[in-house]
Amino acid sequence: IVGNSKDVHYSTNETGVHLSPEEFHKKCNDEDAILIDVRNSYEYAIGHFDGAVNPNTRCFSRFSEWIKEARESGMFKNKEKVLMYCTGGIRCEKASIEMKKQLQNEATVYQLKGGIHRYLEEYGAKGSFKGKNFVFDKRIIQPHEPGTEVVGKCCLCHAPYDLVVDTRRCKKCRLLILVCDSCDEERNQQYWCKDHVYLDPSIYKADPRRMQNLIEKIGELENKLESPSLRGRRNRSKRLIVQKNLDEMRNVQKITMANEKLVAT
């Protein structure tokens, strides 16, 4: 989950200030604070703290890059406190070190001790965390109180839904996505995450402009494939990746055009 080396050691002086659930709860609504969810997008989708920023990361290794982009965009401007949280507090140990390093004393970095898990044990549905807590074991979701608010939505029909099913993943990258039972049955496990939705032939019928965007992307990849920067044995793996993406887009274009002909006849 954390993607760290087994030999890496750090002291509490390097990490953010550890806050108990009670302390964290009190600081959540401070006007000079910004609340950051350290987890991945599919975890945030089914539950998160009210008002928390979603970095939209697909894996934890991308969090450092997100901090840099967020800082350059001015996200932390005029903020004296950065409050961070994750599932059980483990990822925040490394994430808070990176946050402190990049912010360079521009703000005080705090982290929720024990993570969402400990917070929910203390506050349950009465606290600032809305929805359910994704966990990395057979339970998938931490036990919760009856009537807990559903904040997740099916990525296809947008109906309230927060049941995480391991087989419901993006056809391209295998990322977990929220797909309700009815959409799953209708699509027969043919669905994509938001980053790869352009591979879904059904979206082009509803919006013709998307087809023009697809044609432009195909042209860009064709030009990239012919670029001198991808020539030679050293760039063979990169060339194969571009070719694979190009083939996928061409296939989507072919399917869409075939469907249009069927409708016309």
Q: What are phi and psi of 176, to 5 degrees?
A: -65, 135
Greater confidence, 91 or 11?
91
pLDDT at 5: 41
In this prediction, residue 146 carries a pLDDT of: 77
Q: What is the pTM of this model?
A: 0.79
Nearest 5 degrees, angle CA 249-CA 255-CA 256? Answer: 90
Tell me the per-residue pLDDT of 49-68, one tens digit each, with 9 for 90 and over.
999 999 999 999 999 999 99
Q: Supply the DSSP string of 37-106, one letter for each residue.
A: E-S-HHHHHHEEETT-B----SSGGGHHHHHHHHHHTTTTTT-SEEEEE-SSSHHHHHHHHHHHHHHTTS
Contact between residue 83 and residue 34 where contact means Cβ atoms under 8 Å apart: yes
Distances (CA, A) of 105 to 89, 99, 101, 135, 144: 22, 10, 8, 32, 37
Token code pair at residue 148: 């807990």
Asked whether the beta carbons of 148 and 130 are under 8 A apart, the reply is no
DSSP state of 110: E
- DSSP letter, residue 108: E
Over 80: is that where the pLDDT of 207 sits?
A: no
Residues 169, 84 contacting (CB under 8 angstroms): no
The top-scoring range by mean pLDDT among 2-16, 114-128, 205-219, 245-259 is: 114-128
Of the candidates 138, 136, 189, 171, the residue with the CA atom closest to the CA atom of residue 179:
189
Torsional class of 188: left (φ above 0), alpha (ψ -120 to 50), beta (otherwise): left
* Dist. CA 221–CA 149, nearest whole Å: 44
Catalytic residue among 28, 86, 92, 183: 86
User: Could you read off the pLDDT of 150-200 as tens digits, one per residue?
Assistant: 999 999 999 999 999 999 999 999 999 999 999 999 998 889 999 898 888
Alpha carbon distance 51, 41 (integer Å): 15
Instruction: Give the phi and the psi of residue 53 in degrees, each rounded to 5.
Output: -80, 135
Phi, psi of 165 (to 5 degrees): -115, 125
- Annotated catalytic residue 157: no
Q: How confident is the model at residue 12 (pLDDT cuts 50, 70, 90)?
A: low
pLDDT tens-digit readout, 107-141? 999 999 999 999 999 999 899 999 999 998 888 88
Q: What gap in Å lies between CA 218 and CA 199, rounded to an integer? A: 12
Distance of CA 182 to the CA centre of its chain: 24
Report yes or no: 84 and 99 within 8 Å, Cβ to Cβ.
yes
Report the mean per-residue pLDDT for the chain.
89
Average pLDDT over residues 197-221: 85
**pLDDT on residue 148:** 84
Q: Would you place residue 83 in the very low, low, confident or very high pLDDT band (cuts 50, 70, 90)?
A: very high
